[in-house]
């Protein structure tokens, strides 16, 4: 990691310290997450309450430092605070998370506006359910989960999705 990235990491660390102090005063909750800078693709950040960890997209952090530190860092931190304060059954961007964001003085926006290089295009597989003329295009990630025993259900008929023999174009 170069010297410039070290400075950027300090900005994130300082922001997290500031947010921790506010959180302890406002919510009487202590949150000290581990941080990593290994996130790739379109997501700017990712909070994992089970591991008490926040992952950041280093490329976006370096490219959009000011906006990232002031929006993305509080966004992800607020997820951990909301789960700690209100429990695991809350919606990720629900009222509880929004209330934490507002209390921390940050606009509760779900997505960032950073320009991101297109992410890799995953191979798609066609699946069907029991609904007439159904067709679902699943990525290779979900396809592989199904191959290992995972199950995805149709939201309408609740039947498990089954891989189709032919794709949308009639090809096998």
Residue 38 sits in a domain whose CATH number is 3.30.2010.10
Looking at the fold, whether 54 and 99 belong to one and the same domain comes out as: yes
Looking at the fold, whether 82 and 128 belong to one and the same domain comes out as: no
Residue pair 40/57 in contact (Cβ under 8 Å)? The answer is yes
Looking at the fold, whether 96 and 17 belong to one and the same domain comes out as: yes
End-to-end CA distance of the chain: 47
Low-confidence ranges of the chain (pLDDT < 70): 1-3, 118-120, 166-172
18 is catalytic: no
Cα gap 72→113, rounded to integer Å: 11
**115 falls within a domain:** no
Cα gap 85→73, rounded to integer Å: 18
| Residue 3 pLDDT | 58
Looking at the fold, whether 13 and 68 belong to one and the same domain comes out as: yes
**132 falls within a domain:** yes
Q: Which long-range contacts (CB under 8 A, 24 or more apart) does 86-89 make?
A: 88/49
| Residue 166 pLDDT | 59
Among the listed residues 76, 87, 65, the one whose alpha carbon sits nearest the alpha carbon of residue 109: 76
pLDDT, the chain, mean: 90
Looking at the fold, whether 132 and 89 belong to one and the same domain comes out as: no
**7 falls within a domain:** yes
| Residue 30 pLDDT | 95
User: Among residues 3, 34, 62, 76, which one is catalytic?
Assistant: 76
Looking at the fold, whether 84 and 30 belong to one and the same domain comes out as: yes
**108 falls within a domain:** no
| Residue 112 pLDDT | 83
Residues 6 or more apart whose CB falls under 8 angstroms from that of 122 comprise 139, 140, 141
Predicted structure pTM score: 0.69
Task: Identify each DSSP E strand in the chain by its residue range.
Answer: 34-36, 45-48, 53-56, 124-128, 136-139, 162-163
Looking at the fold, whether 23 and 71 belong to one and the same domain comes out as: yes
**119 falls within a domain:** no
Looking at the fold, whether 137 and 58 belong to one and the same domain comes out as: no
| Residue 116 pLDDT | 80
Residue-number span of the structural domain to which 97 is assigned: 3-103
Q: How many domains does the chain have?
A: 2
Cα gap 90→98, rounded to integer Å: 11
């Amino acid at each position: 990691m170069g010297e410039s990235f070290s400075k950027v990491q300090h900005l994130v660390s300082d922001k997290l310290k500031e947010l921790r102090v506010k959180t302890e005063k406002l919510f009487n909750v202590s949150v000290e997450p581990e941080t990593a800078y290994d996130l790739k693709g379109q997501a700017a950040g990712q909070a994992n309450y089970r591991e008490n960890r926040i992952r950041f997209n280093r490329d976006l952090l370096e490219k959009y430092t000011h906006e990232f530190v002031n929006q993305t860092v509080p966004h992800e931190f607020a997820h951990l605070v909301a789960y700690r304060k209100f429990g695991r059954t809350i919606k990720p961007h629900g009222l509880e998370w929004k209330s934490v964001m507002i209390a921390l003085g940050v606009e509760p926006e779900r997505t960032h506006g950073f320009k991101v290089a297109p992410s890799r295009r995953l191979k798609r597989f066609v699946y069907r359910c029991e609904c007439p003329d159904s067709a679902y295009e699943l990525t290779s990630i979900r396809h592989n989960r199904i191959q290992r025993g995972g199950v995805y259900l149709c939201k309408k008929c609740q039947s498990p999705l089954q891989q189709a023999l032919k794709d949308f174009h009639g090809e096998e």
